[in-house]
Amino acid sequence: MRFVLVHGAWHHGDLWEPVRGYLEAGGHEVHTPTAGGLGPTDDKHVDLRGAAQPIIDHIREHDLREYVLVGHSWGGYLISRVAIEMPERVRRLVYFAAFVPQQGKALVDEIPPHLHDALRASAHERGDGSVVLPYTVWRDAFFNDGSDEQAREVYERLRPQPFGTFTDPADMTGWDRVPNAFSYLAPYEDNDITQGEWGRHPRLSNRLGVFRLVGMPGSHEVLLTEPELTARKFVEAGRD
């Protein structure tokens, strides 16, 4: 099976390495490009199209086809954009604890108001077009199933997120041409934007219409705390 793994906010392609190792050990082909604005020297003033462009470029440069396109968290916006741009290449989309975009809605429209306020305050404080996560939020809401030592090690590897990718409304024009082959992978302890009224599943996952639902234990960052399990679930979510 061929996978293109698209990371979430504050992440980059290198953070897929533990999952990638298990997938490759199982005989799968894996690609982990980094989104625009998240490279080590990237300009933070990018929108969703600018963030998706390096992923699109990677797919074209390697002439990838018949791949399973996995998007984690904010990466749901990116895989949707990639699939719209090249629907003939993708075999299945897997939304992994991910946002499922709706026409005209930005990510900040899909989160509780207090989180939007916190992000806006971070952007104002930094003044370079980016936002960052406080460690306490990362530890309790994102990395709640890992050790403090691992949480701190990964936190130091996170990168400032372009705020424009959170405020740019999704353009879903052309979504009707995307193959109707969707999976939603939902970790049970995913709590980065709180469960219940604002939880992504089933509120946002139901936008996919008919889709394969795959559950698993773990937090929003289960890809880092349980990479072997995550790899197995990617295969389950990506199968025909």
Structural domains in the chain (count): 1
- Nearest-angstrom CA–CA distance, 50 and 78: 10
- The strand ranges marked E within the chain are 2-6, 29-31, 67-72, 90-96, 130-131, 161-162, 182-187, 212-216
Q: Residue 42 belongs to a domain with what CATH number?
A: 3.40.50.1820
Q: How many CB atoms lie within 10 A of CB 45?
A: 13
The predicted pLDDT at position 221 comes to 98
- Nearest-angstrom CA–CA distance, 68 and 92: 5
The predicted pLDDT at position 171 comes to 98
The predicted pLDDT at position 235 comes to 98
Q: Quote the domain boundaries for residue 226.
A: 2-238
**pLDDT mean by block of 10 residues, the chain; 240 residues:** 98 98 98 98 98 98 98 98 98 98 98 96 97 97 96 98 98 98 98 93 98 98 98 97
Assess contact for 94 and 68: CB atoms under 8 A.
yes
Place of tokens 């298990």: 22
The predicted pLDDT at position 183 comes to 98
The predicted pLDDT at position 194 comes to 87
The pTM assigned to this predicted structure is: 0.98
The predicted pLDDT at position 159 comes to 98
Pairing label, strands 67-72, 90-96: parallel
- Nearest-angstrom CA–CA distance, 107 and 110: 5
The Cβ-side half-sphere exposure at 238, using a 13 Å CA radius, reads 24
